[in-house]
């Protein structure tokens, strides 16, 4: 007998984690206030969990349950992402007033995206480090 529960559960997990990761980063970077996105995630998460309880087909129930828990976790991830911005592990957006406050009050916060660099394949030389530091400190255009 062929069952599709594992397949649908795996697809729901992959899509939920992938979309959640991307959406949390993008929404947190643009949201002036995190309360609305968090409320949407909590409502959607509980809605999906309720749908999982009502679904008669087990593969659909599994997929909805997994997506529901993933969306509920995304509500927590908004605040964790904001903490990463405060610690300088994620870039702040200069045009976001919430991020501007973070940049003004948190010394470790930065607008530089450390992941948005060309791979070097070798350690930077002292001269390259000076150019890199000058470029990101605003001394060079």
DSSP label at 96? -
Tell me if 53 sits within 8 A of 2, measured CB to CB: no
pLDDT 10s digits, 98-113: 999 999 999 888 887 7
Q: Taking the domains of the chain in order of start, what are their residue ranges? A: 5-111
% of the chain with per-residue pLDDT over 90: 72
- Please give the model's pTM, rounded to 2 decimal places: 0.79
Lowest mean pLDDT among 46-55, 61-70, 76-85, 117-126: 117-126
Contact 102, 85 (CB under 8 A): yes
What is the DSSP annotation of 50-91? HHHHH-SSHHHHHHHHHHHHHHHHHHHHHHHHHHHHHTTSSP
Cα diameter, the chain:
67
Q: Residue 139: which pLDDT band, with cuts at 50, 70 and 90?
A: very low
What residue has token string 């702040």?
A: 92
- Which 8-state DSSP code applies to residue 139? S
pLDDT digit string, tens, across residues 77-96: 999 999 999 998 899 999 99
Distance between the two ends of the chain, CA-based, in angstroms?
A: 65
Contact call for residues 37 and 87 (beta carbons, < 8 A)? no
Per-residue pLDDT tens over the stretch 12-31 = 999 999 999 999 999 999 99
| Contact of 72 with 45, CB cutoff 8 Å | yes
């Amino acid at each position: 007998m062929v069952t599709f529960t594992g397949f649908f559960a795996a697809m729901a997990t992959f899509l939920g984690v992938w979309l959640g990761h991307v959406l949390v980063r993008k929404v947190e970077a643009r949201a002036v206030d995190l309360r609305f996105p968090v409320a949407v995630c909590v409502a959607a998460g509980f809605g999906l969990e309720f749908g999982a309880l009502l679904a008669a087909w087990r593969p659909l129930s599994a997929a909805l349950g997994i997506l529901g828990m993933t969306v509920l976790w995304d509500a927590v991830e908004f605040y964790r992402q904001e903490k990463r911005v405060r610690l300088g592990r994620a870039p702040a957006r200069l045009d976001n007033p919430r991020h501007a406050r973070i940049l003004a009050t948190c010394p470790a916060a930065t607008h530089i995206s450390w992941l948005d660099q060309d791979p070097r394949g070798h350690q930077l030389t002292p001269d390259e480090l000076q150019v890199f530091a000058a470029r990101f400190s605003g001394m060079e255009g």
